[in-house]
Structure 1
Amino acid sequence: MVRFTVQYYTEWGESLALVLGRKKYPMTWQDGGVWCVDVEDPSTEDLKDYTYVVMKDGLIFRPEWGHHSSRKARVIKDKWIDCPFAGCDFTRGHTAGIFDVPGFRCAGTAVPVFSLRSRGDMGIGEFRDLRPLVDWAVGTGQCVIQLLPINDTTRQGGWDDSYPYSPVSSFALNPMYIHLQDLGIREDKRFREDQKRLNELPEIDYPAVFATKTAYMRQAWQARGTKDTAGAAFRKFCTQNSLWLDEYCRFCAQRDGDTPEYHAWIQYHLDKQLSEVVSYARSHEVYFKGDLPIGVSADSAEATYHPELFNLDCTAGAPPDFFSADGQNWGFPTYNWDRMAENDFAWWKARLRKMSEYFDAFRIDHILGFFRIWEIPVSVSSGMYGHFNPALPYSSDEIKGMGLPLSDKLFLKDLRRKGFWHPRISPVLDGLEEWQKDRFNNLHTDFFYHRHNDFWRRYALRKLPELLGATGMLACGEDLGMIPDCVGEVMAHERILSLEMPMMEKGRPWPRLSVCATSSHDMETLRMQQGEDPSAGACRDILNGCLRSDSMMAIFPIQDWLSMDAELRHPKREEERINEPANPHHHWRFRMHLNVDELLEEKALGLNSQIRSLLAENYRLFCLPK
């Protein structure tokens, strides 16, 4: 038995808990503000990384700045770890310590891996292409490179596989981002012909890329697979990733009719290639910001082996909004959060820990999904027929008591609670008396904007502090659209950076803890947003306006950075857009019209000088604090 003690003076209603071995142990107060708990035979591995948290109303209220490490002893006496910096914005320390420096400001670039172009790739961007992009970031004074999701989306090699937010694994990397030459593939005549055929295309031909690269990967497996899989490095990789790798490889082997070892071998080389680039970037104080998709596909390895973690009778999406008048149906199941909570969200924490091997910051895609999700029955396709989950629907008696009819033009049945109803997001009020219309409109406003605020706040705080404490990544939330008040409150409490855009103002000044951007992969680029194609100078002014803001980070799509140079910008602005959210079968095919190496050449000196000047003027150059 080991006794853990820590001194902390709590306020009324607070208590302490020890987080050890992915479990929370409630602690007991003793005289002198000392809290203690006895743990039976903790492992040496668990003692290498543990922490304490302040609990309030059954939820994590405050974390420690850092974690503890200790040797085994009968009594372990710890001191609460507070932030070492006066004036720091955060309550948790980050692995990229520069983020925690008071007054820190920076700039960065957003670009999908698949959109990169180089002379050595094969029709699609690869992890190796990130290295010259890191050099460009260093040369222009940027320190963040933001990517779209990089997980495996492989199904049949068609266009649906190009959708990065529909992974078949939340852990595995996408095989299309592998560099074939590092597998021993020689650049012979056939290789160069294939390369020329695919790289001459202005956009990605995903099915052709998939077929070509897969054939070369199979060739490399036959040539060196046996030798590689017998090596100590491969065995170490498999052991360290056994939590997800075994299931994923069996899943892929069953899909493709081959051996699990082949897929483990591919993941080993992907991890090796990406890890080398990440190490290079970190050594140059450039940090990758990842993207955490809110969903996991119903045909994924996770849903196959762990169906209890998902609601497979529904799909997630979004209500009608700025992006889509009919709403969105993303096609993946919603989460069974109650089941996930039974083991303190172990699956989520493992997912984030894997992500943190490559990223020092991450974007939480659709952060609203941690408060509530727009849930659509699998029997329908339109997002118009969805409702919030969780929610506080009205009972039949409540609706009748308001004098309103139980009409399917006004209400949708709750899928799991008989006799309860959700107001439709887009009701049809024809046939109602004027007083009934007024009453329904008041009910509608209350339901969608006020009724759930405290309910959703507590629902998010039940899990977000647990997940944020699992790694040292800086968290940024995508909080656009129909946002209840509780979202901003929780994000501020948990120090999650918000997303700010000139095109989607929120009616308040941009806060310091935010990421500002001119556009995103789901929107028109900066040039496309204007009536006529704006001049390079006009684009520079817009970018400068964002850089002047109080936002801690200013991260612009690479298309928008290039818009400042009339010679380097894309010749056709209408081809700059990456995604059309209203189209679930959109082909993700945007590719840079320049080789990324060209950003380091003489032709880009003017652009690079402009970027450095803008960052210097706005105290963002080289990430120096203001």
Structure 2
Amino acid sequence: MKIDFYLRFHTRYGQSLAISGNHPSLGSNDPAQALPLQYLNPEFWYASIEVDTTAATSLHYHYVLTNEFGERVVDAEQHRIVAIGRKDSGHLVLVDTWNYAGEFENAFYTAPFRQVFFNSQKSPRLKNPKHYSHQFRVKAPLLPDQECVCLVGSGPALGEWDSANPVLLERSGDWWTVKLDVAPTDLPITYKYGIYNFKKGSFVRFEDGDNRTLYRHDEAGSITLLHDGFVRLPNTSWKGAGIAIPVFSLRSANSFGVGEFTDLKLLADWATGAGMKLIQLLPINDTSATFTYLDSYPYAAISAFALHPQYINLSKVAGKKGAAALKSLVKKQKQLNALTEIDYEEVMKYKMQVLRELYEAEGEEFSKDAEYTSFVSANGHWLKAYAVFSHLRDKFGTADFNQWKTNSVYNEAEIEKLISARSKTAKEIRFYYWVQYHLHLQLKDAVDYIHKKGIVVKGDIPIGIYRYSVDAWQAPELYHMDWQAGAPPDDFAIKGQNWGFPTYNWEKMQEDGFRWWKQRFEQMSNYFDAFRIDHILGFFRIWSIPLDAVEGILGRFIPALPVRHTEFGERGIWFDYDRYCRPYITDAVLDEVFGPLASRVRDEFLVPNSRGGYDLSPAFETQRQVEAWAASRAGDPETDTLKHGLYDLISNVLFFEEPGSNGTHYHFRISIESITSFRHLDEGLKARLRELYVDYFYRRQDGFWKHEALRKLPALKEATNMLICGEDLGMVPASVPSVMKDLGILSLEIQRMPKDPTTEFFHPRTAPYLSVVTPSTHDMSTIRGWWEEDRARTQRFFNTVLESHGTAPYFCEPWVNRAIVLQHLYAPAMWSIFQLQDLLGMSETLRRENPAEERINQPADPKHYWRYRMHLPLEGLIREKEFNTELREYIVNSGRG
């Protein structure tokens, strides 16, 4: 069979196109071996192949654009599948339309819409003609149930533009399609798609835009398949509202001092009544590294795949058979459930103890369950290593595998020995299989229930992995273990953030096509329809901090184009290595930083240098050394002041030399205006360094960082059909919005963190459609908490954004909170998602008394205890009919219901 490809695409000079597919002529799905297309005319590119139909029954293919910068962009149409084994013709003509990933309609073919919102759309049933020359295929995702796509155009086959009797299309998978016999003498023809109400038998409307044209590409006896892209209809009409809350924050009568997967059903019951369409969660992976409150941090998982045992419901595990074993826990359960906040350590202590008792009581019965064995088999790539890791963590009392007496280096053969049936450790290791299996059952059951309610679930992918995790132990080559990931300074953490995670070795990950990421997405898709990429900026560049640093302020972006040593001279800057790259410490600096403690610092921590100032003594040259010293002097009332002052001295530098560059490449320390060393320079030198600083951070890197993102994000997006949202907050490179738009990744828009540096506040009415708007996130204070933080700022917000006259209320009264929520509901964004605290803030009777108790995280505190809980149970929230009805009316009236 001969197959001709015609692709509608307007390229720029330097761009080229190719076809990648499952046939050898198309490179057998290897993009590097894709078949080049030839430029035909300003409207079409062309290629042709011969296919043996006895060896293949279907052709799967997509188009690849290589731009003028050598970057590959893949056509977003993932469902170009053509049956070729039973065609009545030996010549197939495929006329395709390039699918730009940033088209809004593509979002409606992701998991939330396919599997939940649009999974029951109806269509008329058509009789296929015995003979046909053309098949028209087009997409229209937002049609109501009683409407279908129709076709009207010139020529007898298309009804001579009679909209009263249009050609109807039927739904087939993602496409609306119809087969017609178009006489060659009738070509070319012009046509338009329209909408027809097949229930009422009436024409509704034509699509927008100019008429379409079908030229003659065929030969006698050929069949032409037209993929016409999307029907040109309004594509921003669908909007939804959602609730964001960590699972651990849920409160119910039946849970055990912490939110559990089973509580998600109650949350769904409430969300349905309130008109919500989405539930957003924080990461739910196992963080059990120390079994202390430090494990409450949900972004430091010991496995990117394993679920957290704290979310298990013991009664569900025990069933009727083991119910008696839980009777002794009733008192403890009531005690933990009555607490205002989570007691993480107590919860984990009792849950793990009871789980082990239930496991022992069950014996080996569970291992004969076909569903259990299927789960173990499907998840073996992570489950085995996780279970052995957990066993060794318990055995040696630490998750730091570097300290283990055995198995500190991962060895697959050794792992297999430990889990083999004859091993003494096998039963203990299988305990973790068993726990993960029950967690999987409970979460899957909850998600299935949520879907039946017409609600989707959105997860969260942390940007990093925990340093002492299964992932780092199993494949350390995938990470840069000699760096710490974090974030540069911002209004919420003026010294930056140090998450302690190793950074990704993207080059190594790319070698196997990002296999680890694809496995991660596959596992997430068992439970989630959408996900939030935590700190998506990390795919462009990651804030990387040396291991000897404590504060994030000592980091720099990697990768980054450095300042070359020759640039200093070119800009009239005399480069003094000691002055710029070593901590600048003088008597004036010491007095400014330490005040009356300056003389003690001179005596205990410094040595004079030849430059008229001081150097840090060898025992205190790094922040880690200072941290260790402070830990040993915890009883000294001056220790904390000295520690943070010494941290400031160590970070009082202008440049970091790039390791291995032999003095040729340098990187700026961030926040130059706040550096004492910079402020002590003369004004002329400051002006020249300031110009170089702006160039380094805001000009030279942009194209480079864009290229870095396009190496990773397209491949990762192709690996999943979940709807992807990016957390694009912070110091955002200029290329980020365009890359996210081009890939169809939703942005995050927050009122108090505008993307436009010339404005103090973002107004939700200016949000792009492919975005999520929210008044606050888990890393921020709630609306009510923020209102009380800065009186002058609140007043400006009150007068400008709320457009209210006079003096702003001192406290965030319910009507103010309500006005802010409504601004977000009426935004043009696809999604408006709220923390529960911000919704309850609209009610004088339901809101918490103290807004400070509503905050989930303090990013500036790396040892923050994540223990926020709802102050009223879900059962009680469901019964609040007046509040729920009011909220539902707001959501429905805003077009999100």
Instruction: State TM-score, norm by structure 2.
Output: 0.64
Counterpart selection for 2:821 from 543, 566, 577: 543
User: Are 1:208 and 2:208 matched, yes or no?
Assistant: no
Please state whether the residue corresponding to 1:397 is helix, strand or coil. Answer: helix
Name the CA shift for 1:309/1:79 in 2 (closer, same or farther; >3 Å).
farther
CA distance in 1, matches of 2:702, 2:689: 19
Distance in 2 (alpha carbons) for counterparts of 1:92 and 1:490: 20
Q: Bigger shift: 518-527 or 16-25?
A: 16-25
- Equivalence map 1:46-57=2 (5 Å): 53-56=64-67, 57=69
- Which of 251, 254, 272 aligns to 2:389? It is 251
Q: How does 1:176-191 map to 2 (within 5 A)?
A: 176-184=310-318, 185-186=322-323, 188-191=326-329
What does residue 518 of structure 2 align with? 349
- Alignment partners' CA distance in 2, 1:247 and 1:72: 44
Q: In the aligned structure 2, how far is the partner of 1:254 from the partner of 1:86?
A: 47
1:145-172 Cα offsets, whole Å, 9 max, x none, are: 1100011111121111100011111111
1:424 correspondence with 2:669 = yes
Deviation at 1:65, TM superposition (A): 2.9
Count of equivalent residues: 615
SS of alignment partner, residue 834 of structure 2: strand
**Are 2:605 and 1:605 equivalent residues in the alignment?**
no
State whether structure 2 residue 463 is matched by structure 1 residue 294. yes
1:16 alignment partner in structure 2? 18
Distance in 1 separating the partners of 2:254 and 2:97: 48
Q: 1:4 to 1:570 in 2, by over 3 A?
A: farther
**1:506 aligned residue (755, 769, 772):** 755
Deviations 1:454-506 (A, max 9, x none): 11111101111111111111111111111121111111111211111221122
Q: Give the C-alpha shift of residue 9 in structure 1.
A: 4.7
Relative to 1, partners in 2 of residues 1:434 and 1:536: Cα closer, same or farther, differing over 3 Å? closer
Superposed displacement of residue 58, structure 1: 4.3
**C-alpha distance in 2 between matches for 1:19 and 1:256:** 49
2-structure distance, mates of 1:14, 1:549: 39
Q: CA–CA distance in 2 between the matches of 1:317 and 1:521?
A: 17
Q: Does 1:570 align with 2:739?
A: no
Q: 1:544–1:400: structure 2 CA closer, same or farther, 3 Å change rule?
A: same
Task: Determine the structure 2 residue equivalent to 1:412.
Answer: 656
Distance 2:492 2:315 in 1: 41
Worse-superposed segment, 243-252 or 124-133: 243-252
Q: Distance in 2 between matches of 1:4 and 1:309?
A: 42
What is the correspondence of 1:456-535 to structure 2 with a 5 Å cutoff?
456-507=705-756, 509-531=766-788, 532-535=810-813
* 2:403 equivalent in structure 1: none
1:304 aligned counterpart, secondary structure: helix
- Taking a change above 3 Å as real, the CA distance of residues 82 and 91 of structure 1, as seen in their structure-2 partners, is farther
Structure 2 Cα separation of the partners of residues 585 and 347 of structure 1: 29
Deviations 1:496-534 (A, max 9, x none): 111112211223732121111111111001111113432
Taking the aligned partners of 1:51 and 1:351, their CA distance within structure 2 comes to 24
Retained in 2: the 8 A contact 1:65–1:91?
no
Corresponding letter in the other structure for 2:858: E
The Cα of 1:415 is off from its aligned counterpart by 3.6
* Partner SS state of residue 784, structure 2: coil
Q: Distance in 2 between matches of 1:81 and 1:281?
A: 36
CA pair 6-145 structure 1, distance change in 2 beyond 3 A? farther
2: CA distance, partners of 1:605 / 1:164: 33
Change (3 A) 1:224 1:319: same
1:93 aligns with 2:109: yes
User: Could you tell me how far 1:313 is from its partner in structure 2?
Assistant: 0.5
Query: Contact 1:131–1:281 (CA<8 Å) still a contact in 2?
Result: yes
Which whole-Å CA distance do the structure 2 matches of 1:600 and 1:438 have between them? 61
Query: Which residue is equivalent to 1:618?
Result: 894
**Match of 2:726, as an amino acid?**
G
- 1:36–1:585 Cα change, 3 Å: farther
Alpha-carbon spacing, 1:166–1:614, altered in 2? closer, same or farther (3 Å): same
Give the deviation of 1:73 after TM superposition.
7.3
Counterpart amino acid of residue 108 in structure 1: G
Equivalent position of 1:163 in the other structure: 297
The one of 820, 824, 835 equivalent to 1:557 is 835
Query: Of 464, 473, 498, which residue of structure 2 is paired with 1:329?
Result: 498
- 1:446 alignment partner, one of 685, 695, 703: 695
Report if the CA contact (8 A) 2:20-2:35 is conserved. Answer: no
Gaps of 5+ in 2: 23-27, 119-140, 143-234, 396-424, 582-652, 757-761, 789-809
1:235-250 paired onto structure 2 within 5 Å? 235-250=373-388
Match of 2:222 in 1: none
CA contact (8 A) 2:463 2:535 kept: yes
Shift of 1:608: 0.6
C-alpha distance in 2, partners of 1:386/1:599? 45
2:278 to 130, 134, 144: 144
For 2:253 and 2:61, the matched residues in 1 are separated by: 46
- Range with greater deviation from structure 2 (543-552 or 578-587): 543-552
Per-residue CA distance 1:251-307 (angstroms, 9 max, x = gap): 112212363211111111111111111111122220011111001011111111111
Identity percentage of aligned residues: 39
Residues 599 and 130 (structure 1), Cα distance of their counterparts in 2 relative to 1, 3 Å cut: same
Q: Which runs of 5+ in 1 are unaligned?
A: 622-626
Contact 1:65 1:93 in 2 (8 A): no
Offset of 1:3 from its aligned partner? Answer: 12
By how many angstroms is 1:189 displaced? 3.4
Q: Deviations over 1:543-581 (max 9, x none)?
A: 011111111111000111111122222232210000000
Q: Which of the residues 182, 195, 199 maps onto 2:333?
A: 195
1:28-67 per-residue CA deviation (whole Å, 9 max, x = no partner) reads 136785558999xxx99xx999865444354342433333
Contact 2:498–2:552 (Cα < 8 Å) also in 1:
yes
How far residue 204 of structure 1 moved from its aligned partner, in angstroms, is 0.3
Question: In structure 1, what is the Cα distance between the partners aligned to 2:353 and 2:459?
Answer: 29
Q: Quote how far apart the aligned CAs of 1:71 are.
A: 8.9
The aligned amino acid for 2:350 is T
**CA distance 1:479–1:432, shift in 2 (3 Å):** same
Alpha-carbon distance change, 571 to 315 in structure 1, aligned in 2, over 3 angstroms: same
- Verify the 8 A CA contact 1:27 1:35 in the aligned structure 2: no
In structure 1, distance between residues paired with 2:660 and 2:298: 31
Pair 1:26 & 2:26 matched: no
Contact 1:64 1:80 in 2 (8 A): no
Aligned AA (1:341) = Q
Distance 2:304 2:91 in 1: 37
- Describe the shift of the 1:450–1:241 C-alpha distance in structure 2 as closer, same or farther (beyond 3 A): same
Match of 1:119 in 2: 253
Provide the C-alpha distance between the structure 2 equivalents of 1:517 and 1:313, rounded to a whole number of angstroms: 36
**TM-score under structure 1 length normalisation:** 0.91
Amino acid at match of 1:147: L
Match for 1:269 among 419, 438, 442? 438
CA distance in 2, matches of 1:48, 1:9: 19
